[in-house]
Chain A
Amino acid sequence: MPSSILLLLLALPIAATLLLPVLPGEHSVRLRNLAALACGAQLLVALACWRLPPTDLHVAWLPKLKLALDLGLDGLSLPLVVLTALLSTLAILSAPDDQSRPRLFYSLLLATNVGVVGAFMARNALLFVLAFELVLIPATLLVATWGGPRKAGAAIRYLVYGSVSGLSLLGGVLALGWFNSNGVSFSYEDLAHASLTPSAQAWILALLLLGFGLKLPIVPLHGWQPFTYAQAPIPAVMLLGGAVSKLGAYGLLRFGVGFLPDTWAAWSPWIAAAGAVSAVYGALNAIAQADIRRLMAYSSLGHMGLLVLALAAATPLSLQGAMAQILAHGMIVALLFACVGLIERKTGSSSIPELSGLLNPLRGLPFTMGMLLLALMAAAGIPGLVGFPAELIVFEGSWVAFPRATLICLIASGFTAVYAIRLFNRVGFGRLDNAKANWSATRWPERAPALVLTLLVVVCGLWPKAITGWSEATTASLALRTATFPTQMASVSTPDTAVQAIASAPLLLPS
């Protein structure tokens, strides 16, 4: 397929973003459908790109700054673009019929989508930074305008953390380009071959870790996350948790593992430790939460820990697991929040002590709770659901490199079941108070986004190749360690070959 199709992936949401504010009429549902249509079309185009891989696009933009519109899709970015397009569509559809200020709301969601997709498609580090920064503005506005009672605090916190993340990323990427003794360039091909002094590598990786670690987030950079997830409007949380946070994971994989393999390998024990700490911290905090949203925020934090562990291990299998975990977690977290959104919309609360008996077939929300149960089971890694293959590969792949960290993560992952059961037991079972239970049942259009995610969670659980097959070759080529000889990894790691591989990463199709 021609490379211009890549532009279409961005043009669709941009066009809708621009069109929404000028459309006549105050019909919220029509605006929502239009926005969803744009993202749906984006999803279809992305899927078309998977069947018929397009060539890379190169348009010089600001040659002085070495900024170029380099776009491309490889085994890393394609699944993420598909995921983002899917989650954007479903997030938009999860908005209520009577969404307040719909034009601005959907425009901002679409703008977020543009930023995330743009970052994933970028083949130029400056372009990546640009897109990465773009996401911050609409996301902050979404929280600030449509958030919960403490939206102002949440928005400011998100903005401050996001700015630090963006600045450190900018610094890291500029340094990456400028300190390259082969000449200043920001294209991925050149960066992959960059030669940097070890101390420069260390500084750059530190900056990148800060930037992406804040985005993911991982402990101790997670301060914004539970607060924001608790206050932001549900479609924004679905997008933030499902797609935006994946920018961090993608960045670590692309920049950290791909461009700074030596330092990454040297620092990986510490990164793995941070992952393990995140996993334990997230799981234990989730157990203690009294609000479903905060519980899920900490749960998400814990799962990011597993992801970071897999990235740190950087064996072919663990990177494969990392990609699978990105996709699986994207679906699961979006589904969890879609269900919470339905619960909140009907009951007006996400407080665990206030809710009980929601599984009641006649007056409760049995359908929503059924999907929530499935999502919680998927998050807990129950076989047959999408969380299981992802976590299994992560653990299996990371075990050879960091057995202790992996073991800690395994135990932390076991706690997932604890808070999942605790949550469901409190909210789903027990007595439904007749005096309070005076809300309408969920309708099919409301259920649809969550239902699609539920089906994906089951289908991808039964057919794990859907989340592993995309990027096998790419991740294998990125691997810094071989699975069989973990002790030799530092000396064996051959940055050159890895770099080679990422520069010309072939697009592997799931078979």
Chain B
Amino acid sequence: MANIIETAKAAGCFTTLLTAVEVAGLTSALESPGPFTVFAPVDDAFAALPPGTVQTLVDNPPQLARILKFHVLAGAHRRAELVDQPEWTSLEGAPVAIRRAEPFEVKNATVVSADVECDNGVVHVINRVILPG
């Protein structure tokens, strides 16, 4: 098996996410043993953001890192486990709400593909960038 970064690279639809992780300096963290649960927005999710949003974040790595950390939980949690609890605390500090089990929804994003197993955690592919608040 591959780690989270390798899995994302292999999937091919996480180009923006990987660039962002790289710019934010979180690559090495996500390559570490972890384990982590990552909600990974697909490229289309980033493309749906209004123009300039991603650019501003990329220009400011600490702020970008904060938004990205909101997509990461400590520990490897599979879908069955996540839906048992209404809220999970993200690495950013703000809670991530699990809104629905069927279809599986994390905040206002829908999980397109759940429980992608990696060496150092689990990836859930989501169709929207989620934001704290």
Q: Judge A-B direct contact (beta carbons within 8 Å).
A: no
**B residues apposed to A, CB below 8 Å:** none
**A residues apposed to B, CB below 8 Å:** none
